[in-house]
Amino acid sequence: MKFGIATFVTDEGIRPDVLGRALEERGFDSLFLAEHSHIPTSRETPYPGGGELPRVYYRTLDPFVALTAAGGATNDLLLATGIALLPQRDLIHTAKLVASLDYLSDGRVAFGVGAGWNREEMRNHGVEPRTRGALMDEQLAALKTIWTQDEAEFHGKYVNFDPIYSWPKPVQKPHPPIYLGGESRAALNRLLRYGDAWLPRAHTSPEEMRRVRQWLADNGRPDVPFTVFGAGTEQAELAGYREADVERVTFMLDTLPEAETLETLDRLAKIADAHR
C-alpha cells in the first residue's frame, strides 16, 4: 500500500516546494492539494464537517501553481489535486493547466476532481448548483477530447465548442488519470463512466469500498484503483484499507509552519513504514 499526503497549502504554512522535497525524502509517493478559489463572506451552505469553516479554506493557494512549485523541487512525487472543483473552472483553461503541469513534470499528474459543496462559491462562478453534476459530466468528456485529439470539438448542453487546437498534450497517455471524489450515487456513476481512480473520503468504510469494487466489476470496471483521502493513523483503520485492497492512503496533514510540519511528517512516515 502506498502512502501520500493530503493538505491545504496556504500563505501561512510550509511552502509547497519545501513540502514536496520533505515528502519525497520521507518516502511518501504523492501530494494531494485542496482547492477553493474564494469563500463568500455571506455563506448559507453549512460546512460538511460541521461547526465553523476552518481558516485554511479562506487562504489556500491555487493548486496548480503550488503543485508546479512542488514538482520543480522533486523527481518522482505524484502531483495531484484533491480535489479541483471542476464545475467552477473554465474548461479550456483547465485542460491546458493540467496538460502543462503533466508536461513540465514528465507525466506525474493525477487530476482529482469533485462537484463541490459551497453553493455560494459556485454561484459566484456562474454555476447553478442543481445542474453542476450534469455540467461536470460534460466537462470530463470534453477534457478527454481536448487532451487526446489534435482538432477537438464538443457539443453538449453545457459545454459547446467548435474544433480547436490546444497544446501541449499530456505526457501520460491517453491522459493524466482522473480521480473522482465523492460517495453519492451520482458520484459513483460518474466514476464508472469517466474516472480512472476513486478518491473516497476516510469516513468510507472498508465494507463500503468492497461493495463499490464489486459494483464496478459487475459493470465492466474491475481494475479501478482506490486512494483514500484524508485518512487517520489508527492501526485498525489502516489495516482495514489494506484488506479492502486500497492502492494508496493519504494522511490529512494540518497546515502548519515549516518546522512543525516536518516534525509531523517524521511521525507520519514512521506510521506509513509500518504498513507498507
Q: Are 163 and 140 in contact (CB under 8 A)?
A: no
Q: What three-state secondary structure class fits 253? A: strand
Q: Which domain holds residue 83?
A: 2-273
Q: pLDDT tens, 107-163?
A: 999 999 999 999 999 999 999 999 999 999 999 999 999 999 999 999 999 999 999
* Amino acid 50: pLDDT: 81
Burial (Cβ within 10 Å: 0-12, 13-18, ≥19) of residue 105: buried
Q: pLDDT tens, 49-108?
A: 788 899 999 999 999 999 999 999 999 999 999 999 999 999 999 999 999 999 999 999
For cell 465548442, what's the residue?
A: 161
* Amino acid 156: pLDDT: 98
Kindly report the CATH number assigned to the domain that includes residue 85: 3.20.20.30
How many domains is the chain partitioned into structurally? 1
Angle between helices 185-194 and 132-148 (to 10 degrees): 10
User: Would you tell me how many other CB atoms lie within 10 Å of the CB of residue 46?
Assistant: 11
Q: pLDDT tens, 181-227?
A: 999 999 999 999 999 999 999 999 999 999 999 999 999 999 999 99
55-4-7 Cα angle (round to 5): 10
Is residue 43 pLDDT above 80, yes or no?
no
User: Between the CA atoms of 268, 269, 275 and 276, what dihedral angle is there, to the nearest 10 degrees?
Assistant: 150
